[in-house]
Amino acid sequence: MRTRTIWTTAGATLAVLAAAGLVTTALLGSDRTAAAPVTTPATAAPAVPHVDAAAVAKLPEAQYSAVIAGLMPFDRTVRSDTVFHLPADAPLFGAHRDRPVARLAAQDFLRQPTTVVGVERDGDWELVLTPARQQLPSAAGTTGAAAQTAAWVPVRALRETATPRSRIVISTTDQTVSVVNAAGTTLQRFDAGVGTADTPTPTDVTGYLEQRYVDPAQGTGDHPIQLTSLHSGAADEPYVGHDGGLIGLHWNATTSGTVSHGCVRLDADAVAAVNALPLGTLVTVE
Which residue did the predictor score with more confidence, 142 or 17? 142
Q: Output the pLDDT for position 39.
A: 56
Q: Who contacts 15 (Cβ-Cβ below 8 Å, separation ≥6)? A: 2, 3, 4, 6, 215, 217, 218
Cα–Cα distance between 22 and 233 in angstroms, integer? Answer: 12
pLDDT tens-digit map of 199-246: 999 999 999 999 999 988 878 889 999 999 999 988 887 666 667 789
3-state secondary structure of 146: coil
pLDDT per residue as tens digits for the range 70-112: 999 999 899 999 999 999 999 999 999 999 999 999 999 999 9
Query: In angstroms, how far is the first alpha carbon of the chain from the final one?
Result: 22
For residue 240, the model assigns a pLDDT of: 64
Q: What is the pTM of this model?
A: 0.84
Question: pLDDT tens for residues 29-52?
Answer: 333 334 455 655 567 999 999 999
Provide the sign of the torsion angle of the four alpha carbons 56, 145, 131, 12, taken in this order.
positive
Buried b (16+ CB within 10 A) or exposed e, 111-132: eebbbbbbbbebeebbbbbbbb
More confident residue, 234 or 124: 124
140-145: average pLDDT: 82
**Residues in contact with 215: Cβ distance below 8 Å, sequence separation at least 6, in sequence order:** 4, 13, 15, 225
- For 157-191, the pLDDT digits (tens) are 999 999 899 999 999 999 999 999 999 999 999 99
DSSP code per residue over 168-226: EEEETTTTEEEEEETTS-EEEEEE-BEE-SSSPPP-SEEEEEEEEE--GGGTTTTSPEE
